[in-house]
């Protein structure tokens, strides 16, 4: 499937010629998949003549690309929408659109329209490629558009993408999830697993290389399941080996991996492919086998620990990162202690930590023994303290060492400094020439902290 025919059509429409000086602003919530969705929406808008503005209040189109994994993200969206009411009254021609995972939830679109009737366009995750069509209908006919497709369609190829970076890029290799973890809404809002054809992925990567990109991160809710629906023998390990042969590509990263599906051939591909970075994001979620079973994760504490040991044995320089949820329904003090013990045993290089957030229409929301908020926060603080101590100690081992860094750009906090990452994903800030952006260079590490390394470019 492709939407390029429609984009090309409306690009030539006379009534859109006035859009050449108009602007849009996209606020993105959630994961890397949402970020790439926003890059595609931005690419479509730029194709038909709009330009991006970082100042939301100045934009002619304001778009919220939403996440529904945690309640906090939803609350932020509602708060930001509420703030736009006065702006819409002052500027009736302002177009406000809301899309993404949050809109895909049952009844959410109607709730948004009832609470915020000034919203012009609402669409979901399965039909974002049709945004130019919805925009055209609003502008031509003055109608309000709400279109949520509840069943995933085929994969749409050929959409323009407005990449945030000039040197590294996300490349989605599959969509959806089949795992149905009891706390998670992703299978309901992103649909079942659908893999892109390997030739389409390779074509996209080759086009990125021709544009000067050097590093890609392949994305999927569970990349280890890639290819299972293609019925042609393709697997994630084979895809990694295929991408490793693409000329001009320097580094390959991937996320996320489900522990139950990370097989020996994937571990060997990471070990043997020189472009695949020694970094594995391996979400554990809990260190208690009882809680893992309640989460429907399909592995035990012991199986996870053995997998982490195997990865480290095969790939000595590997960094293992993770996701952990604190306060899942029924989590006892003993369950939480199991999590702390696992964290100490695996010794993660970094972790995304979350306080369990109830999500409508998930099995966990209906479970008894919901954990009081004060207990969740106390456990969360203990977990973060333990993780930070481990990460800082592991980072300290890099002081006075020379590491290879892919230079991504200037530091967000200090534009006179450069920033990049080691092969195993550690963030490095250092003094250097902007001519190094997009290159692999050696950096001597002079100082280590909990979240980054500081160094000097080797002369």
Strands 61-66 and 23-28 come out as parallel
Sequence-ordered strand ranges (E) for 220-339: 251-255, 279-281, 319-326
Half-sphere exposure of 20 (CA within 13 A, CB side): 7
The secondary element (H helix, E strand) that includes residue 95 is strand 95-100
Nearest to 187 by CA among 39, 355, 28, 69: 69
DSSP 8-state assignment for residue 380? H
pLDDT at 119 over 90: yes
- What tokens does 201 get? 């992925």
- What residues form DSSP beta bridges with 404? 442
- Check whether the bond before 256 is cis (ω within 30° of 0): yes
Q: Which residues contact 220 (CB under 8 A, 6 or more apart)?
A: 172, 173, 174, 175, 226, 254, 256
From residue 412, give the alpha-carbon distance in Å to each of 53, 316, 392, 409, 415: 18, 31, 21, 9, 6
Burial of 21 (0-12, 13-18, 19+ CB in 10 A): exposed
277 marked as binding residue: no
- Is the pLDDT at 373 greater than 50? The verdict is yes
Q: Is 438 left (phi over 0), alpha (psi -120 to 50) or beta?
A: left
Q: Report which DSSP code applies to 232.
A: S
Chain center to CA of 84:
27
- What pLDDT is attached to residue 18? 45
> Is the CB of residue 33 less than 8 Å from the CB of residue 103?
no
- Going from the C-alpha of 342 to that of each of 3, 23, 204, the distances in angstroms are 47, 49, 39
- What is the per-residue pLDDT for 8? 55
Mean pLDDT of the residues in the chain: 91
The domain ranges of the chain are 21-147, 401-457
Strands 417-421 and 402-410: antiparallel
First-last CA distance in the chain: 50
The top-scoring range by mean pLDDT among 127-131, 344-348, 433-437 is 344-348
393 pLDDT more than 80: yes
Contacts 24+ apart (CB under 8 A), 141-147: 144/113, 144/119, 144/120, 145/120, 145/121, 146/109, 146/113, 146/121, 146/122, 147/122, 147/123
pLDDT band (50, 70, 90) for residue 251: very high
**Whether pLDDT at 12 is above 70:** no
pLDDT tens for 18-70 read 445 699 999 998 888 889 999 999 999 999 999 999 999 999 999 999 888 77
With CA atoms as reference, report the closest residue to 61 among 126, 136, 147. Answer: 136
Instruction: Provide mean pLDDT across the span 190-212.
Output: 94
240 and 266 Cβ atoms separated by less than 8 Å: yes
SS3 140: helix
67 is in an annotated binding site: yes
Q: Identify the burial level of 241 via C-beta atoms within 10 angstroms of its C-beta, where 0-12 means exposed, 13-18 middle and 19 or more buried.
A: middle
Which residues on adjacent β-strands are paired with residue 445? 455
Question: How many helical (H) and strand (E) elements, i.e. helices and strands, does the chain have?
Answer: 15, 19
Q: How far apart are CA 299 and CA 261, in angstroms?
A: 10
Of residues 20 and 442, the one with the higher pLDDT is 442
Is 184 annotated as contributing to ligand binding? yes
Q: Can you give the pLDDT at residue 204?
A: 96
More confident residue, 12 or 260: 260
Q: With a cut of 60, say whether residue 264 has pLDDT above it.
A: yes
Tokens of residue 315, six digits: 């790939």
Q: Is the pLDDT of residue 6 over 60?
A: no
**Bigger pLDDT: 103 or 252?**
252
pTM of the model as a whole: 0.87
Task: For residue 177, say whether it is annotated as part of any ligand binding site.
Answer: yes
Q: Is 203 left (phi over 0), alpha (psi -120 to 50) or beta?
A: alpha
Q: 21-147 and 401-457: same fold?
A: no
pLDDT at 126: 85
Q: What does the pLDDT read at residue 67?
A: 86
The residue written with tokens 């534009």 in the block is 415
Q: Where is 265: in which H helix or E strand?
A: helix 264-272
pLDDT in tens, 74-87: 788 889 899 999 99
pLDDT tens, residue by residue, 216-239: 999 999 999 999 999 889 999 999
Tell me the C-alpha distance between 228 and 248, whole Å.
Answer: 28
Task: Write out the two tokens for 177.
Answer: 């999830």
68 is in an annotated binding site: no
Q: 156 or 341: which carries more pLDDT confidence?
A: 341
CATH (one of 3.40.50.720, 2.40.50.140, 2.30.29.30, 2.120.10.30) for 401-457? 2.40.50.140
DSSP three-state, residue 123: strand
| 440-448/427-431 β-pairing | unpaired
Domain 21-147 falls in which CATH fold? Answer: Rossmann fold (3.40.50)
Per-residue pLDDT band at 249 (split at 50, 70, 90): very high
């Amino acid at each position: 499937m492709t939407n390029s025919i429609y984009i090309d059509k409306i690009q030539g429409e006379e009534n859109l010629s006035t859009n050449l000086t108009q602007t849009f602003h996209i606020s993105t919530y959630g994961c890397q998949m949402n970020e790439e969705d926003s890059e595609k929406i931005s690419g479509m808008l730029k194709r038909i003549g709009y330009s991006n503005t970082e100042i939301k209040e100045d934009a002619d189109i304001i778009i919220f690309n939403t996440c529904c994994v945690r309640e906090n993200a939803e609350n932020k969206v509602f708060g930001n929408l509420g703030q736009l009411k006065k702006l819409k009254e002052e500027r009736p021609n302002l177009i406000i659109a809301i899309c993404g995972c949050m809109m895909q939830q049952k009844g959410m679109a109607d709730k948004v329209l009832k609470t915020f009737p000034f919203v012009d366009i609402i669409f979901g995750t399965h039909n974002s490629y049709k945004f130019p069509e919805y925009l055209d209908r609003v502008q031509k006919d003055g109608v309000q558009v709400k279109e949520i497709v509840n069943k995933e369609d085929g994969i749409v190829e050929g959409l323009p993408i407005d990449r945030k970076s000039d040197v590294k890029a996300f490349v989605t290799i599959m969509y959806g999830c089949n795992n149905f973890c009891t706390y998670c809404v992703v299978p309901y809002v992103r649909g079942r697993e659908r893999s892109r054809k390997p030739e389409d992925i390779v074509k996209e990567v080759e086009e990125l290389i021709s544009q000067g990109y050097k590093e890609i991160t392949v994305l999927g809710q569970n990349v280890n399941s890639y290819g299972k629906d293609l019925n042609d023998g393709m697997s994630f390990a084979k895809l990694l080996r295929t991408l490793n042969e693409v000329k001009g590509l320097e580094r390959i990263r991937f996320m996320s991996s489900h522990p139950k599906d990370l097989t020996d051939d994937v571990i060997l591909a990471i070990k043997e492919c020189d472009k695949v970075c020694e970094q594995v994001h391996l979400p554990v979620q809990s260190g208690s086998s009882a809680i893992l079973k309640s989460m429907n994760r399909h592995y035990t504490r012991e199986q996870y620990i053995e997998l982490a040991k195997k990865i480290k044995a095969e790939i000595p320089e590997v960094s293992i990162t993770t996701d952990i949820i604190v306060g899942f329904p029924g989590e006892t003090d003993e369950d939480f202690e199991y999590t702390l013990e696992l964290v100490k045993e695996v010794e993660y290089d970094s972790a995304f930590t979350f306080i369990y957030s109830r999500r409508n229409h998930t099995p966990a929301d209906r479970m008894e023994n919901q954990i009081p908020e004060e207990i969740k926060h106390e456990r969360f603080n203990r977990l973060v303290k333990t993780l930070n101590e481990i990460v800082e100690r592991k980072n300290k081992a890099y002081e006075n060492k020379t590491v290879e860094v892919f230079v991504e750009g200037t530091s967000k906090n200090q534009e006179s400094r450069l920033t990049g990452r080691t092969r195993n994903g550690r963030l490095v800030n250092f003094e250097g020439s902007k001519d190094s952006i997009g290159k692999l260079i050696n950096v001597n590490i002079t100082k280590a902290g909990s979240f980054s390394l500081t160094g000097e470019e080797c002369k």
